[in-house]
Amino acid sequence: MQLIKSLVCLLIMLCNMVVQAGSLTFIVTQIPSNTPATDTIFVAGSFNSWDPANVNFSLSSSGIYQRIITINNVSGSQNFKFTRGTWQTVEGNASGGFLPDRSHNVLGNDTLYLTILSWEGNASNSTAANNVQILSNSFNMPQLNRNRRVWLYLPPDYQTAQSKRYPVIYIQDGQNVFDAATSFSGEWEVDETLNLLFNQGNYGAIVVAIDNGGGDRLNEYSPWVNNLYGGGQGNQYVDFIKNTLKPFIDLNYRTLTTAPNTGIVGSSMGGLISLYANAKYPNIFGKAGIFSPAFWFSRTDLLNYLNGVSIAAPIKNYYVAGTNESSSMMGDMQNVRNLMVQKSGQDTALFRLKGRSDGAHSEWFWRREFRDAYLYLFSSIVPENVAISPLAGLSFVLSPNPTQDQLRFEWNSTVSLRLAIYNTAGVLMESRNNLFSGDSIACQTWPSGIYLAQLMDANGQTSTIKWIKE
């Protein structure tokens, strides 16, 4: 009899526990302004084994700066924190420091209204201007099968001048471009420089800064292998900017998309890869700022490559270095500059070369020189009649647009083109090496949204067209 009574009591207790289990709704009324627009916010806690990236615990949007999630079948004391997918992107206190675990005792169907004050390590010592944001902490690089943090600077009048479009500058070593808190040895202060110039009447430009890959930096910043230091992934890296990042920026922001309005800039190894991008794709990157370039890394391969190219599109270069940085620096720059003049058939005045007696291989020097380089390269804005530049002589029709299941491509030629389709997160959805007018692709299983179809001819000329999947 005593055993039966004990079992009954146990069953009653279990039933009470089930009845008492409730829900916990988190409504986040405000998130930090530097939260990347593409990042997902998760809640991790005692209710999910503290998993910082469990997709079942991701918050959904409910307003411009509001996130919401309801967790069912919870009761008692629950500890938790918000993350952006890793413990390196966990929420912090008001000054960007460590925030202890949050706690709440669930008594029924409870709702909490909360504010995320900061992301740990990203608040108190940031020097980035208010018009700088992190576009993504993990922008997909399909050409290299890795992800990377990408920064975005928008001109001061971007939100108010709704009909205005801007030139775009792509800069390497992005962690050194805007923010001393993320820089290796000081920042370039590109945001402060451009804001000041804008206040003095300059037209303005969008800047996209790509963090280097740490251990992959030397590999990504040279198309050629140096037997001592690496290299060899430069082609894939440049194709990432050209085929993935630039289409994403052109789709989502008001850009002037043609080569004369597109610059690429870098220092040291970043100068090497920027020069290479300009020489390989002059119809994409019409302007290059080359600061203290590490041409020594692959001198012979670089010169051989430049001797073999023909630069058909108009370009503009700015070279600058300290005259005493190294014994070969100025000579290497002069040789490369001469080849670029020769291969482009343009006037030498479009390839400015500066040697500074006090220059050094350092961020402070490149910070000082950025202003003059920018003003020279973007001394004028080239008007565009269309938002996205077409392949010369070809007119395209994508139909139906919007579409639900099939997208048909037609153009006024029998030539075949290469096709790449990206979503707005820069993910490659479809690619074909030989697409002919009249061909179709099936997209019925794709998520609804805006996509970019990029068509390329045998000479590397491209046309990028927006279309909608319903």
How does pLDDT run across 229-276, given as a tens digit for each residue? 999 999 999 999 999 999 999 989 999 888 889 999 999 999 999 999
Q: Count of H helices and E strands in the chain?
A: 9, 26
**Fold of the domain spanning 18-119:** Immunoglobulin-like (2.60.40)
Q: Name the pLDDT band for 5 (thresholds 50, 70, 90).
A: low
Token digits of residue 348: 């030498």
CA distance readout (Å), 143 to 137, 235, 237: 17, 9, 7
State pTM to two decimals.
0.62
Of the candidates 114, 66, 122, the residue with the CA atom closest to the CA atom of residue 98: 122
DSSP 242: I
pLDDT above 90: residue 315: yes
SS3 199: helix
Same fold, 18-119 and 396-469: yes
The conformational region for residue 63 under phi > 0 = left, psi -120 to 50 = alpha, else beta, is left
Domain ranges of the chain: 18-119, 132-377, 396-469
Of the candidates 246, 265, 261, 249, the residue with the CA atom closest to the CA atom of residue 379: 261
> What's the rounded mean pLDDT across residues 11-34?
69
For the chain, give the mean pLDDT.
87
CA distance readout (Å), 373 to 91, 201, 217: 38, 17, 24
**Fold of the domain spanning 132-377:** Rossmann fold (3.40.50)
Per-residue pLDDT, 384: 60
> What's the rounded mean pLDDT across residues 277-291?
96
Contact 421, 399 (CB under 8 A): no
> What's the rounded mean pLDDT across residues 136-158?
93
Overall size of the chain counted in residues: 470
Per-residue pLDDT, 392: 61
**Bridge partners, residue 153, by sequence:** 132, 207
Q: Name the pLDDT band for 217 (thresholds 50, 70, 90).
A: very high
Read off the pLDDT of residues 427-444 as tens digits, 9 standing for 90 and up. 788 989 999 988 999 999
Name which residue leads in pLDDT, 395 or 161. Answer: 161
Q: Cα torsion for 119, 124, 128, 129, to the nearest 10°?
A: 100
Percent of the chain with pLDDT over 70: 90
Token digits of residue 245: 């990042």
Q: Please state, as a whole number, how many other Cβ atoms lie within 10 Å of the Cβ of residue 103.
A: 11
CA atoms within 13 A on the CB side of 340: 32
Instruction: Please report how the helices 299-308 and 329-344 are oriented relative to each other, as an axis angle in degrees rounded to 10.
Output: 10
Q: Name the pLDDT band for 402 (thresholds 50, 70, 90).
A: confident
Letter string b/e over residues 123-159, b meaning 16 or more CB atoms within 10 A of that residue's CB? beebebbebbbbbbbbbbbbbbeeebbbbbbbbeebe
Of the candidates 309, 288, 460, the residue with the CA atom closest to the CA atom of residue 389: 460
Of the candidates 53, 22, 21, 24, the residue with the CA atom closest to the CA atom of residue 114: 24
pLDDT above 50: residue 18: no
The highest-confidence range among 29-33, 98-102, 331-335, by mean pLDDT, is 331-335
CATH code of the domain made up of 396-469: 2.60.40.3080
Q: Please state, as a whole number, how many other Cβ atoms lie within 10 Å of the Cβ of residue 426.
A: 25
Q: Name the pLDDT band for 386 (thresholds 50, 70, 90).
A: very low
Read off the pLDDT of residues 99-125 as tens digits, 9 standing for 90 and up. 888 989 998 898 888 888 788 766 546
Percent of the chain with pLDDT over 90: 57
DSSP 454: E
Q: d(Cα 212, Cα 267) in Å, to the nearest integer? A: 12
Please measure the distance between the N-terminal and C-terminal CA atoms of the chain and give it in whole angstroms. 67
Q: Please state, as a whole number, how many other Cβ atoms lie within 10 Å of the Cβ of residue 467.
A: 17
pLDDT above 90: residue 27: no
Sheet arrangement for strand 67-74:
60-61, 67-74, 22-30, 109-115
Q: d(Cα 383, Cα 37) in Å, to the nearest integer? A: 30
pLDDT above 80: residue 30: no
Q: d(Cα 16, Cα 424) in Å, to the nearest integer? A: 49
Q: Name the pLDDT band for 391 (thresholds 50, 70, 90).
A: low
Q: d(Cα 135, Cα 252) in Å, to the nearest integer? A: 11
Lowest mean pLDDT among 214-223, 348-357, 386-395: 386-395
Q: Name the pLDDT band for 178 (thresholds 50, 70, 90).
A: very high
pLDDT above 60: residue 299: yes
Q: d(Cα 175, Cα 184) in Å, to the nearest integer? A: 8
pLDDT above 70: residue 62: no
Write the CB contacts of 278 (distance below 8 Å, at least 6 apart in sequence). Answer: 264, 285, 286, 287, 288, 315, 317, 340
The highest-confidence range among 56-65, 171-180, 402-411, 418-427, by mean pLDDT, is 171-180
Contact 424, 248 (CB under 8 A): yes
**Bridge partners, residue 27, by sequence:** 68, 113
Q: d(Cα 222, Cα 237) in Å, to the nearest integer? A: 9
Token digits of residue 465: 């067209």
Per-residue pLDDT, 125: 67
Of the candidates 331, 329, 320, 328, the residue with the CA atom closest to the CA atom of residue 355: 320
Q: Name the pLDDT band for 63 (thresholds 50, 70, 90).
A: low
Per-residue pLDDT, 16: 47
Q: d(Cα 152, Cα 148) in Å, to the nearest integer? A: 13
